[in-house]
Amino acid sequence: METVIVWFRNDLRLADNPALHAAVAGGARVVPVYIHAPEEAAPWPAGAASRWWLHHSLASLNASLQTLGGGLILRRGPSVDTLRELAAACGARQIYCNRCYEPALRSRDQALQSALADEGIECLFSNGSLLHEPWKLKTKSGNPYRVFTPFWRACQQQRTGAMPVPAPETLAPLPPALVSLSLAELDLLPSIAWDPGLHETWRAGEAAAQARLRAFAETTLAHYPEWRDLPDKTGSSRLSPHLHFGELSPRQAALTLQQHAQAEPAPNLIRGTEALVRELGWREFAYHVLYHYPHTTDEPLDARFAKFPWREDADSWRRAWRRGRTGYPIVDAGMRELWHTGWMHNRVRMIVASFLTKNCRIAWQQGARWFWDTLVDADLANNSLNWQWVTGCGADAAPYFRIFNPVTQSRKFDPQGGYLRRWLPELAPLPAPWLHEPWTTPPAVQRALGLEIGVDYPLPILDLKQTREQALAVFRSRVRRAGS
């Protein structure tokens, strides 16, 4: 029997996996492989929270493969040497895989494909991560899109391809000559147990992704447009880590939601589906921008912001931001949620990013790096696009003068303070009038509650009005100097 290799990467699922489906359809024995080669993703190897998720996702994938009669071969890189060795050991002349779009991995794959082709080994790439390949959508002038609305309009005018393909029903046993590393040997889990909150919050793997998708469709989809901005509500889909690791494809997500809305065509379900699918569109836009402008992982898309005069004397502010000790409750709640769960509500992500880049005037790249290490859904395309969007220097970005006021945002989107009280238990006794601005709490109230602002919870590290005016002056001066 002919043998082929299926190289799993950011597509850790069996259903709607084009590479796996193509390999199985050919009738060959399939050898599933995962290669751990973080150095090949430099300068953006997976952060600590992502490695945690990867460990559990690989365990889930291996268990699923074993139920079909196969299993997962785990190896360490370099990828080209590992694939060459595996191909020689099992006699494979074809390697099936789904594309990666991150700049370093694109370059790696191109070099690898060429090197293996010289030895008669064919690498066959499929699209397993996106609704549309980034190079297939262009403006009327033939350029990449830099504004989301026309990009999404173009997406909607194109077919998203065939229906999701099924998982294989059976797989042949792995060749006995192939040896796999143990999952523990990949050393993905933390040596210091900082991850209990991740265990409490998440279940990795394809089955967990499908369960979360179904639960969202059944319980939250109808309320999604109204709830998604409210951090105290379970209004987000929380599908982002499953999409990032490929435990769920965007095609599966969109189809499931659309079918749910069609089965019960209530207006609120239709609105919810349209809103969530549009969020999938934003993800597509992020990959479109990353593909055409790979430098935006580290440099602004808008050249006017190159060599921007970020503050170099704000180490104490940056540390307070990371620890959730800024004195602004919505910022601190978000940063503590991030540290505990590896995730943060999207509205709060915008607030904490604005606070860092506008009020603290700390470079967006530093915030992007922190998110990269602490988010379980750390996705290079989304992370880069969103940080530049908030800063005002990226594709379809918010104007530089848009500065989120954390107090106003807190009052608007968490009016009863449920989110704040959950993540800032020291402030839980405070009544709503003072919860959003605890430094204004009268001393008598503090004494009655056994709470001392400045001791039990920090005073604000900066003045919002003053830092806003300073930021506006610097941003405005920079943009004008660049000729805008």
- Catalytic residue ranges: 279, 282, 310, 346, 364, 387
| 282 vs 230: CA distance, rounded Å | 20
Q: 376, 202 in Cβ contact below 8 A?
A: yes
Task: Give the angle 379-164-34 at the CA atoms, nearest 5°.
Answer: 50
Using DSSP's 3-state secondary structure scheme, residue 222 falls into helix
- Which distant-in-sequence residues (6+ apart) come within 8 Å of 107 by Cβ? none
Sign of the CA dihedral running 165, 166, 171, 177 = positive
Exposure string for 319-342, b = 16+ CB within 10 A, e = fewer: ebbbebbbbbbbbbbbbbbbbbbb
Q: Which residue has the tokens 């785990």?
A: 74
- Largest separation between any pair of C-alpha atoms in the chain: 82
Q: Helix 346-354 vs helix 380-391: angle between axes, to the nearest 10 degrees? A: 50
Task: Give the angle 403-148-333 at the CA atoms, nearest 5°.
Answer: 40
Residue 480 burial by Cβ neighbours in a 10 Å radius (0-12, 13-18, 19+): exposed
Q: 452, 361 in Cβ contact below 8 A?
A: no
Which residue in 376, 169, 160 sits closest to 250, CA to CA? 160
- The answer to whether the bond into 78 is cis (omega within 30° of 0) is yes
Residue 38: what residue type? Answer: P
Q: How far is CA 127 from the centre of its chain?
A: 18
Residue 277: what residue type? Answer: V
For residue 164, what is the DSSP state?
P
Q: Which residue has the tokens 């089965």?
A: 263
Using DSSP's 3-state secondary structure scheme, residue 127 falls into coil
Sign of the CA dihedral running 212, 218, 222, 223 = negative
